Amino acid sequence: MEQFTQIVSDVNNFLNGIVWGWPALILLAFTGILMTCLTRFFQISHFGHWVSQTIGRILDKDVSGHTQDRSISQFQSLCTALAATVGTGNIVGVAGAIMVGGPGAVFWMWLIAFFGMMTNYSENVLGIYFRRKSASGEWHGGAMYYLRDGLGAKKGCKTLGAVLAAMFSVFCFLASFGIGNMTQINSISGNMEAVFSVPRWITGIALMILAGLVIIGGLKRIAAVTEKIVPFMVILYMAGTLVILFTHITMIPEVFASIFKGAFALKSAAGGIVGSGIRLAIEQGMKRGVFSNEAGLGSSVMVHSSSNVKEPVRQGMWGIFEVFADTLVVCTLTSFAILSSGLVDLETGVVAAESNGVALTNSNIMSTVFGNQFGFLGSAFVAIAIMLFAFSTVLGWSHYGTTACSYLFSEKYVMIYRVIFVVAIFGGAVMKENLAWEIADTLNGAMMIPNLVGVLTLCPIVYAITKNYVDRHMRHQNVEPMLSNFKDIQDEFAPLVKKGAE
């Protein structure tokens, strides 16, 4: 058995090196840079517009009001997407990046998020443009659909599009049980056991029941829960990190200096030599940024495509905001709280081996930061925050797996998938095998390759849709809206878009 486990581990490590190696990271960065250039730096040039059309309209009924059909509101789609992205990566992942890559990893995390805004934007635009309504009246969209109907529509690419769509769906289906379920639940049960001495099996049963009540009810129930949990947990966590930041406000200039010096190897990173310092900083920063906001993985587009929005660009702008909130706000606050806590030597980038006799790891460093500031209540707060973050991630990923299941096997098997997904929660709570985490990591990253192929080959469509939107809404030109690739959907939505045009 041990020999078999070792073989599986070796194969997984090889595949992980391919999935998350430098070629894949370069492809990810290139896609973000290309989409940023094609849209003429939309995230900057139209900053005021996308802010006003997203969080600026949060009180508008057509943005956050509950829908009567099987679709969900734009705000609910954002919250469900953030539920899957704002997770343990924002706490444990960021801490791990700093511990391995030094403070400089934060800069590269910022950079990949900046370009990732437009990758996520492009995914959402393509998701809305190529989505289809199922027999039950629910919208289905995602990388599998724009690979099959977009890439597959190009001359000689029908088989390629279908194969890549199937590959993406299989990776997503399997990853939903790993990175989207068991590994998240394992984080919760481990924290509950360490901080509150709650046995893992009790946590597993409780979470299985709670998740079952939500997930079995489908997307609208998931969205109804996440729109309440996500804003609450993000605001509460931000408040805690801001208190720590203001307590050490005099260190902010030093923290900034440490980040920029470490990013370009002007000093050693995490105790490494200068030559390897910049490599570690770039690698860890980019990886953690992608793990956190999932831009380029093609995951969140599956829930954004279920929105009641009519304009592809309008949902694309929510994708920009999603990456902005997840990485440039939440992850940045986590980074500054850690770097200003005194647990990191800002001159060398080395993280303290232990604090108050407790060995520091990427999973407990943030708990230590809060504990040093607020005592036991601080450590308990982080445990509860991780629980909420991880649990909401499970809810979001259950929809991703549902979409993949529906695409691969048809809608009649969706309920079976949801039941198995809920049962797997108990297994995640009690498992102790690290290999499960490693395999989940590989499957999660494997979704990126076919998705980026789709985004790159369909980038002219993203450009055309963006230009069409800008011409109509900002230059006030009288041109026909580009709403969907399918004529029946165009005919259904065109009057609604024209009526609501600015």
Dist CA 425 CA 388 (whole Å): 15
Question: Where does 342-452 show beta strands of DSSP type E?
Answer: 354-355, 358-359
Contact 81, 396 (CB under 8 A): yes
Contact 274, 101 (CB under 8 A): no
pLDDT of the residue at 490: 53
pLDDT of the residue at 372: 83
284 versus 145: the higher-pLDDT residue is: 145
pLDDT of the residue at 452: 94
pLDDT of the residue at 440: 66
pLDDT of the residue at 158: 93
Q: Roughly how many angstroms between the first and final C-alpha of the chain, as a whole number?
A: 65
pLDDT band at 268 (very low <50, low <70, confident <90, very high): very low
pLDDT of the residue at 271: 46
Within its chain, how far is the Cα of 109 from the centroid? 13
303-358 residue pLDDT tens:
888 887 888 999 899 899 989 988 888 889 989 998 988 888 787 777 776 566 55
422-466 residue pLDDT tens:
998 888 888 765 555 566 667 777 888 999 999 999 999 999 999
279 versus 114: the higher-pLDDT residue is: 114
347 versus 44: the higher-pLDDT residue is: 44
pLDDT of the residue at 435: 56
373-412 residue pLDDT tens:
888 888 888 888 878 888 888 888 888 899 999 899 988 8
Dist CA 226 CA 110 (whole Å): 26
Q: Report whether pLDDT(114) > 60.
A: yes
Residue 489 domain boundaries: 2-500
pLDDT of the residue at 66: 56
127-138 residue pLDDT tens:
999 988 877 777
pLDDT of the residue at 405: 92
pLDDT band at 296 (very low <50, low <70, confident <90, very high): confident
Contact 202, 385 (CB under 8 A): no
pLDDT band at 62 (very low <50, low <70, confident <90, very high): low
Which residues, 6+ apart, have CB-to-CB distance to 67 below 8 Å? Answer: 73, 308
Dist CA 228 CA 116 (whole Å): 26
CA-to-CA separations, 17 to 102, 280, 296, 378, in angstroms, rounded = 21, 15, 18, 37
Average pLDDT, stretch 91-120?
86
Contact 247, 238 (CB under 8 A): no
pLDDT of the residue at 164: 95
Using a 10 angstrom Cβ sphere, with 0-12 exposed, 13-18 middle and 19 or more buried, the burial of residue 290 is buried
| Domain at 143, CATH number | 1.20.1740
Rounded to the nearest 5°, which phi and psi values hold at 358? -105, 125
Structural domains in the chain (count) = 1
Q: Report whether pLDDT(41) > 90.
A: yes
pLDDT of the residue at 464: 94
Contact 301, 450 (CB under 8 A): no
pLDDT of the residue at 498: 46
487-497 residue pLDDT tens:
555 555 444 44
180-214 residue pLDDT tens:
888 788 878 877 777 788 888 898 899 899 888 88
Q: Which of these ranges, 68-72, 470-474, 484-488, has the smallest mean pLDDT?
A: 68-72
This model's pTM is above 0.95:
no
pLDDT of the residue at 123: 95
pLDDT of the residue at 55: 82
Residues facing 354 on adjacent strands: 359
pLDDT of the residue at 163: 95
18-28 residue pLDDT tens:
666 778 888 88
pLDDT band at 103 (very low <50, low <70, confident <90, very high): confident
pLDDT of the residue at 272: 46
pLDDT of the residue at 129: 93
410-420 residue pLDDT tens:
888 889 999 99
Place of tokens 């990949």: 112
Residues facing 140 on adjacent strands: 132
- Return mean pLDDT, the chain: 80
